[in-house]
Structure 1
Amino acid sequence: MEFRLLGQLEVRAGGAEVRIGRRQERLVLAALLLKANETVPPTELIDLIWPDNPPTDAAGAVQVYVSRLRKTGVRVDGTRDGYRVVVEPEAVDLYRFRRSVAEARRTIDPVARSAKLRTALELWRGKPLADLFADAVRTQVLAGVEEERRAAEQDRVDADLAAGLHEALAEELAERVAAEPLREQLVIAWMTALYRSGRKGDALAAYSGLADRLAGEFGLDPAPAVRRLQLAIRRDDPALRLPGTARGGDAVPRELPADISVLVGRDDLLEEARGVLTGTARVYCLWGAAGVGKSALATRIGHLVSADFPDGQLFARLQDVHGAPVPPEVLLGRMLRSLGVAPRAIPASLEERTALFREQTASRRVLVVLDDALHAPDVAHLLPTGPHSAAIITSRRHLPNLTTPALPDATQAIHRQVVPLDANTSQGLLIRLVGRALHDHATLHTLVTGCAGLPLALRIVGARLALSGEDALPALLASQPGSGDSPPVSSRPDTGQGLQLDSLVAGDLAVRSSLDRTVALLDGEGQALFERLSLVGVTEFPSWVAAPLLDCDETTGLAAFERLVDLGLVELVSGRYYKLHDLVRSYSAARLAATGDPSKPRDRYLTAVHRLTALADTQLNHGMTLATHLEVPAQPILPAAEQEITDDPTLWFSRTWQLIGAAAFTALDLGKAELAGQLALRLNGYHVTQELLEPRIELLEAVRDALKDKGPFELYVRTEIALLPAYHRSPRELLSEGTRLLELAIQAKSPYLQVRALVEMSHGARWAGEPELALEHSTEALRLIDQPDGPESMRSVVLRTIASATTDLHDYAAAQEWFEQILQLSVPGSMMEGLDLAILGEIKMELDELDDSEQLLRRAAANFRSVSSYYHLAWPMALLARLAVRRQRTDEAAELVAEVHSWFETLPWSVEIHLRAAEADLAIATGNHEAGREILLATIKKAEDRGDSQFATAYQQILDAHDQAD
């Protein structure tokens, strides 16, 4: 099937039109095609169809429309998150247009480039989808698409100018400027065409017309690029002419672009540059990412030091508008003409032009500003020779190999990276550009964060808000946040919502085109990695992700990452961990969507995440058994990443747990529920050790819901059991849920899961203050283990519940025997062994065997420290504090309590329930009896309110013991 969006919506199959009669169905199809092969949420479709008053069952209506579309032969897949149309990009005219434009922009010859752009523009049959969208909705939905057309038309005009077709363009552009008088790029092209056609007066009149209209209607001046062109025309700047045209006069060249009015956050570089350029170094190199403000900074520096270079200031851009390098011989020709060399006297070869340029600058005080340099050897040809001359160079990559043979031997180039602005500086710049403060602080925060500290993005947003006020916000923002609060920690893939990339266009400024020129500098491997990084779903990631994404080894992947860092597309965070900002990632995702099917690299990546997560889980030594039966994928083997896991699995998890969670959600979106379930269970152990409750519940619930419908059933029940302790239900609810899960485990015919359910029921009974019932459930679990093929891996877990219930019955001698038996089965150094040691240490303290108690508690603390589980570590630390009070070491007790407090901003209940007893003991031991009683009474009430009878009873016993002592 063929789909046409660039005009009225048309669908054709086999040359014949496919009729889709209802407007709502056509609307749904158009919305899906605009994001072909991407999932579109139902809410987005509802807002497009019924922008004002959606019907009660709008989601059901959308489902009906999708069903009707499928009957016409359109393939629409449905997921829990929405719908996506599955189509080859070449079948949609919009994507053919984009491919053709991209191909044209890679074409160096201007005549061929113009022809390809004309072919692409012929695909447009009118306003896209004008028959479907209301004007207000069209502006919101299709602003970026129409801007692509205007950009392609502008590229075609630029190509015609480069090809020398200025006379024909002067007539064509007169009509277009009359239709769009405020489109400044059109005015620039028209002024250039008029000037090259010998109509200098008309070119200056065109500028005056634009300036008068902007001042009269908006109170604004023309953009800096237009003002620079007007000045260049007035002084007959040779750069305006095509190569080979003559320059008259012998005026001193003053070619610096107009300085911008507001430049912030660069004071240190400005101060250093002035010293460098008027001192001995003489060459100042600025490098950094696209949009970071290198050119504006270089221009400001040039103006600051211009008085020190009375023989002129030369300016040259080393890339054309499409990012292609301008040959150094071409630039040398222009600069030699600017220095007064007659065109006939300029030699043809690069070597001869370089020699002549060095001769011309040998005795002059000239400043050369070279913008957007690509290669150090090309730059070397363009440096002046004189001992009193200097150069400023900007580049998107570091140029460490730049040599300066044209300058004295003592000259060394100074290289400085221009980094993004910090949040406060960005906010200040945006407010100054807008001219007023935004009342909605959440929106201001979103805008500043979305601009990523890039002055280019901030200037575009500022210009649009200054011109249109807050009416521009819907087009700028992909989603408006409801408040300024930070979102909860989540494992879901980050959608990168915030600023709309296609909305970041103002006048002659555009973020996308700046990024286009940067990515064009990458080789194919680097471009592929950059695009596929959007599949990872998080903003920070380790270098090993490159190996499965590119199907290469880790060394090759690391080298590809280094090329991305060199161009500022990704940021090196630390070691081998990188960051891709949301704004750049949305661009990365858009490129990936236009290049074809990403399923193979995505599948390789998910398999790599699965293997590494499984290896890390097996080495974490938490002692939990829910995932022990799961297999570890055999491939791909990533030696460096696996060594990092072996060195410190806890540290590895701390850096990648959100990436793993995002991979699980991606697997769910792809319908791979079993893979998502295995990832969730492998991640569950780390979640538990770090008490990452919200992301743990979020992921397990999503997996459970998917497995409930799709299976496997046994994995579904495991997920349900993993969820149960995460909810922190009341003891009665825990008993009830455990009974339900026991029924599911029996249905799954899994003795292991039956034992797990009985363990949860035993916990519920203990916390409800019924140790006899807890012992009954634990005994039944032990009976299942003792059967042939019973789940032996659960023996230590079940014995622990028996021993704990025995402790609650105050049979400490029997409890000791049980725990000593458990310690023979526990994995040495594991978190589970730590739990056993802590309970046994507490029993020993109750029996007043304080030396043994302290030894056991310190061993337990060491186990918890080994897996960095501070939530669990707080328990033996609190017990050690109580033991120190008993031994009259109150200073030590106070230090232990303070250390636990230092780990948490707010004490979780699982920590508080252990720590309050130590605080009460300490208060009473230091003479503050009333404060100790208040701590205990408050804790008892809180435990009762939560339904934790076991803890309420335990604290009441502590209180009674203190009262008796008094």
Structure 2
Amino acid sequence: MDFRLLGALEVHDGAAEIKLVRRQERLLLASLLLRANESLPTEQLIDLVWPDDPPEDARGALQVYVSRLRKAGIAIDGSRDGYAVRAPVGSVDLERFRAGVAEARGLGNAAERGTALRTALALWRGELLPELVDRAIRDRLCVPIEEERRRAVDERIQADLAAGLHAKLLDELPAVVAQDPTREATVAAWMTALHLTGRRQEALEVYADVAATLSDQFGLEPAPALRRLYSAILRNDPVDRAVSDDTVPRELPVDISLLVGRDELLADAVRALKVDAATICLWGAAGVGKSAAATRIGHLAADAFPDGQLFARLQDVAGEPVPARTLLGRMLRSLGLSSGEIPDDLPERREVFLQRTTDLALLLVLDDALDSGTVEQLLPAGSRSAVIVTSRAPLPELVTAVHRQVVGLDPEVSRGLLLRLIGRPVRDQEAIEVLVEHSAGLPLALRIVGSRLALSGDELLPALAGSLTLDSMVAGDLAVRTSLDRSLALAEPRTAQLLAGLSLVGVTEFPAWVAAPLLGHDELAGTAAFEQLVDLGLVELVAVEPLRRYKMHALVRSYATEQLAGDPAPTRQRYFEAVHRLTALADSGLNHGWTLAAHLETPATPVLPEAEGEIEADAIQWFEASWSLIDAAARSALGAGQPELAGTLTLLLSGYLSLRGYREPHNQLFQTIAEVVAETGPLELSVRLELALWMKHPGTPADQWSAGLRLRELAGQTGSLDLQTRAEMQLAESALRLARYQDAHRHGLLALALIDRMDGPEYLRVFAVCRLAAIAVELHDYEAAVRWGEQAVVLASPNSTAQAESRLLVGEIYAEVKRYEQAAEHLIAAAATARALSADDCLAQAHCLLAGVRAKQGNIADARSLMDVPRTIYVQVADPHLRIRIGLADADIAMTAGEFAEGRRIRLEVIEFVAGRGDTSVANYIQGVIDTDPRDPANA
């Protein structure tokens, strides 16, 4: 019987081949033949034959397969403990191969040794056991034997080279090196053969190509022996025909020339290695420069480890884990053990490695670890050795290690690195800033961009800055996408689902609650998924207090979009519903007393207890963390063909934006949604949106008047007293700005009459009364103005923005009639309420009015101090109403301080500004102040 394993499994009985059709039978026989004449435990065989889903009666099924093999004539011994195949000496080709290699190694003559090795290798007919489809089983069974084959090939090449067959070798060596450029003895043989045949330049090019491949794909530098060979060829010195490596391993990759922003990390790590012989774990995001930092640290500390430095990548080029058994084998060879001295299985290799390293002072660099278990198998013994581990995720199980996160570079350091990589002066600094921002502090991204620009002129800068995507983040073998792929491969399925879902959110910074609806799970599961994304460096935790917030850089967001699988509509809809409910709850918690969304019902689901608790504790704070996200959700809903939802979210958000004075960022969206809803309906929502739009950004008084007339007609068609009342108040406001005071008074009374109806919108009364108070001021009926204003303060909900704004109006009226103490009382109360509600716009106006009052009272120092707050807020919001208030207050202060020309100049500037906006009433009022101010000598 002849058994052939070195290729597809074949069994021959004399000239006849025994066919084994069933895959399980072939796999069982192959497993037994790999350890021929040794008993293999039943449980081990079951695990090999059915690695994922063994049958219920696996032992019985195994017995059936053994019986069939016996019927085919194959001798198999069985016992309670297991099975063994009886194979006579020389009947298994693997055994013959091993015997042939061992015999060849005993031959002193290089030519004879090469011939014997060639004979042994000829037994291989192709890939070992190609019928094995399970990768884990293949690694377990085949990797060690395939390594034996590769070693035999290496030895045969060395023998042929030593025998002077270098010309013949040139036919095969290019393909062998291309298949595995890390087998540097083979590379050395190729370079030597080229050099000895007079092709010196080609030999140097082979080294350059292999060195680039090792650096770019594996993060390795060529071995010392290979570097010495390169130097010899470069100098045209004689070279040996066989290359041997150093007895002391020096495997650290080449140190990169530019490593910036890591001084503190390097110093701490080198100190820990040299003083404490510590294990240091560097973890961080894809592309953040962990390997580069580890390499630099290794070089800086190398002199403290005279017995050598070992380097191992714990992932292969495809991102798959390299088995600890394989890694230990490589390290033992680096420590000088021959192939015959290295045991076969993992426990024995581990034991030999510990014995070998007990008295050594070694530095190990374990790059790109996937788990702590593999790292623990590779740790050396003794107290003189140290280890540097890099990982994309933290490895807390390494309890004795010093853990340091490697973070992205800050913008200034990133900018400096990019300019140094480009290597020439760059005029377009704006484009550089864009590239720095999009590179997100990742040295990998900066190196890719820098290498591309270094090879081009400045003409590429604008194009690259304008279209920086994952597809453009490629230079040679460097690619951001590949690095991100390897990070995501470490994520749990739910975490990967969250990453993809975050691309639907529409912003790069988001609060923690978004994870729950995107995943369709509770908030606890969402937080766990977020935390793993943070650990993998795919998102960044930017705030814990007062609310937890995360950030995703633009490059990762682009990558996340690529991960969306299937129809995203259900996930997006679930997310929309969560945004709708939470925004409605938050709007109702603002206590602003004025909203165009008052008629809307709060959705019942999905309930998110933690987020809703945050809203209940501080709705303003919740909005602060979420408002841009709500704005993006409205845009997304509009793009998804849901204009009603978009309009609803916009209305719910408008209360907060008005409260904070953030009008401009939302206006264009408001306009777009209003136009779409005007075409698609419903009418009531369309009218509400237009009323809100004009309230936020009214345009000229004439435009507002025309729009008000049209909206009053449309409001009548809806039958909504709420909308009709709002339309009348809109007309009253427009008429007031046009200085048509009688029209303004009439429409204000019409609004009040609608409120007085049986089903009238009572909550709007306070605003109608405020309008009438403002109109009475313009009619110089100050008694009525005070009466209306005081009534508004009483009607408003206590400590609401409505009450604060009512107090603003009353304070302004009292200031107008020179009742300064009463004015100050109301304005101070308004400021206190506004501050408590974070109503910046109201707070700024209260300070302006109060500063004007203090100026009129002659208190210049207090007046000027009060203006710090509105100036700060104006820088943030640039609201035109606030600009007018600031100007009037500054003019009052200047007049009281005796700076009359300055006061007149400021007032004239304000008149010019308001006249440009069409506010005739305000312009008339300020001109009247100029003409009658008793402090101005021009009026004497």
Larger C-alpha radius of gyration, 1 or 2?
Answer: 2
Q: Which residue of 2 aligns with 1:41?
A: none
1:323 deviation in Å?
Answer: 2.4
2:862 is aligned with 1:892: yes
Q: Which residue of 1 aligns with 2:541?
A: 572
User: 1:150-197 deviations in whole A, cap 9, x for unaligned?
Assistant: xxxxxxxx999999799999xxxxxxxxxxxxxx99985464589669
Q: Which residue of 1 aligns with 2:634?
A: 664
Structure 1 residues 220-239: aligned runs within 5 Å: 224-225=215-216, 228=220, 230-231=222-223, 234=226
Q: Which residue of 2 aligns with 1:935?
A: 906
Q: Which residue of 2 aligns with 1:139?
A: none
1:335 deviation in Å?
Answer: 0.7
Report % sequence identity: 45
SS in 2 for 1:279: helix
Q: Which residue of 2 aligns with 1:831?
A: 801
1:469 deviation in Å?
Answer: 4.3
> What residue ranges of structure 2 are gaps of 5+ in the alignment?
1-126, 136-142, 155-173, 230-241
Moved more, 440-449 or 672-681: 440-449
Q: Distance in 2 between matches of 1:207 and 1:770?
A: 96
Contact 1:312 1:365 in 2 (8 A): yes
Contact 1:840 1:853 in 2 (8 A): yes
Q: Distance in 2 between matches of 1:168 and 1:752?
A: 89
Q: 1:113 to 1:915 in 2, by over 3 A?
A: farther
Moved more, 611-620 or 926-935: 926-935
SS in 2 for 1:462: helix
User: 1:602-634 deviations in whole A, cap 9, x for unaligned?
Assistant: 111110001000000111112213100011110
2:532 is aligned with 1:563: yes
User: 1:361-391 deviations in whole A, cap 9, x for unaligned?
Assistant: 1222211111011222322222222332211
1:441 deviation in Å?
Answer: 2.5
Moved more, 876-885 or 203-212: 203-212
User: 1:293-351 deviations in whole A, cap 9, x for unaligned?
Assistant: 11011111112222222211101111222322222222112111111123223234433
- Counterpart code for 2:393: R
Q: Distance in 2 between matches of 1:473 and 1:673?
A: 39
- Counterpart code for 1:506: A
Q: 1:661 to 1:112 in 2, by over 3 A?
A: farther
Q: Which residue of 2 aligns with 1:911?
A: 882
Q: Which residue of 1 aligns with 2:522?
A: 553
Structure 1 residues 677-688: aligned runs within 5 Å: 677-688=647-658
- Counterpart code for 2:911: I
Q: Distance in 1 between matches of 2:145 and 2:833?
A: 73
SS in 2 for 1:286: strand
User: Which of 405, 426, 429 is residue 441 of structure 1 equivalent to?
Assistant: 429
Structure-1-length-normalised TM-score: 0.74
Q: 1:204 to 1:542 in 2, by over 3 A?
A: farther
SS in 1 for 2:394: coil
User: 1:124-154 deviations in whole A, cap 9, x for unaligned?
Assistant: xxxxxxxxxxxxxxxxxxxxxxxxxxxxxxx
Q: Which residue of 2 aligns with 1:451?
A: 439
Structure 1 residues 26-175: aligned runs within 5 Å: none
Q: Distance in 2 between matches of 1:166 and 1:473?
A: 49
Q: 1:475 to 1:325 in 2, by over 3 A?
A: farther
Contact 1:871 1:910 in 2 (8 A): no
Q: Which residue of 2 aligns with 1:312?
A: 308
User: Which of 363, 372, 379 is residue 376 of structure 1 equivalent to?
Assistant: 372
What is the number of residues matched between the two proteins?
Answer: 765
Q: Which residue of 2 aligns with 1:588?
A: 560
- Counterpart code for 1:323: G
2:795 is aligned with 1:804: no
Q: Distance in 2 between matches of 1:835 and 1:185?
A: 82
Structure 1 residues 668-817: aligned runs within 5 Å: 668-817=638-787
- Counterpart code for 2:313: R
Q: 1:338 to 1:949 in 2, by over 3 A?
A: same
Q: 1:471 to 1:934 in 2, by over 3 A?
A: closer
2:483 is aligned with 1:514: yes
Moved more, 223-232 or 862-871: 223-232
Q: Which residue of 1 aligns with 2:414?
A: 426
Q: Which residue of 2 aligns with 1:945?
A: 916
SS in 1 for 2:621: helix
Contact 1:323 1:518 in 2 (8 A): no
- Counterpart code for 2:833: N
Contact 1:211 1:222 in 2 (8 A): no
Q: 1:195 to 1:917 in 2, by over 3 A?
A: same
User: Which of 778, 802, 812 is residue 842 of structure 1 equivalent to?
Assistant: 812
SS in 2 for 1:716: helix
Contact 1:247 1:342 in 2 (8 A): no
User: Which of 619, 625, 646 is residue 616 of structure 2 equivalent to?
Assistant: 646
2:527 is aligned with 1:527: no
SS in 1 for 2:275: coil
Structure-2-length-normalised TM-score: 0.76
User: 1:386-428 deviations in whole A, cap 9, x for unaligned?
Assistant: 332211111111222314xxxxxxxx53221111111122122
2:549 is aligned with 1:598: no
- Counterpart code for 1:952: A
Contact 1:191 1:204 in 2 (8 A): no
2:265 is aligned with 1:269: yes
User: Which of 920, 924, 937 is residue 891 of structure 2 equivalent to?
Assistant: 920
Q: Distance in 2 between matches of 1:692 and 1:926?
A: 33
Q: Distance in 1 between matches of 2:252 and 2:682?
A: 69
- Counterpart code for 1:336: L
Q: 1:396 to 1:585 in 2, by over 3 A?
A: same
Q: Which residue of 2 aligns with 1:355?
A: 351
Q: Distance in 2 between matches of 1:886 and 1:713?
A: 50
Q: Distance in 1 between matches of 2:849 and 2:824?
A: 9
Contact 1:768 1:948 in 2 (8 A): yes
Q: Which residue of 1 aligns with 2:362?
A: 366
2:488 is aligned with 1:500: no
Q: 1:264 to 1:249 in 2, by over 3 A?
A: closer
1:938 deviation in Å?
Answer: 2.6
Q: Distance in 2 between matches of 1:389 and 1:190?
A: 30
1:116 deviation in Å?
Answer: 12
* Aligned residues: CA RMSD: 3.5
- Counterpart code for 1:337: R
1:922 deviation in Å?
Answer: 2.0
1:883 deviation in Å?
Answer: 2.2
Q: 1:387 to 1:722 in 2, by over 3 A?
A: same
1:843 deviation in Å?
Answer: 1.9
Q: 1:691 to 1:161 in 2, by over 3 A?
A: farther
SS in 1 for 2:390: strand
Contact 1:707 1:715 in 2 (8 A): yes
1:916 deviation in Å?
Answer: 2.6
Q: Which residue of 2 aligns with 1:33?
A: none
User: Which of 292, 308, 321 is residue 288 of structure 2 equivalent to?
Assistant: 292
SS in 1 for 2:832: helix
Q: 1:167 to 1:116 in 2, by over 3 A?
A: farther
Contact 1:191 1:207 in 2 (8 A): no
Q: Which residue of 2 aligns with 1:257?
A: 253
User: Which of 502, 523, 544 is residue 513 of structure 2 equivalent to?
Assistant: 544
Q: Distance in 2 between matches of 1:644 and 1:522?
A: 29
Q: Distance in 1 between matches of 2:693 and 2:188?
A: 78
> What residue ranges of structure 1 are gaps of 5+ in the alignment?
1-108, 118-157, 170-183, 238-245, 404-411, 481-497
Q: Distance in 1 between matches of 2:244 and 2:325?
A: 21
Q: Distance in 2 between matches of 1:723 and 1:203?
A: 80
Q: 1:207 to 1:347 in 2, by over 3 A?
A: farther
Q: 1:368 to 1:165 in 2, by over 3 A?
A: closer
Contact 1:192 1:203 in 2 (8 A): no
- Counterpart code for 2:519: L
User: Which of 332, 337, 341 is residue 341 of structure 1 equivalent to?
Assistant: 337
SS in 1 for 2:739: coil
Contact 1:167 1:194 in 2 (8 A): no
Q: Distance in 2 between matches of 1:364 and 1:635?
A: 64
Contact 2:814 2:820 in 1 (8 A): yes
Contact 2:225 2:243 in 1 (8 A): no
User: 1:471-517 deviations in whole A, cap 9, x for unaligned?
Assistant: 7668856xx2xxxxxxxxxxxxxxxxx42202322222221111111
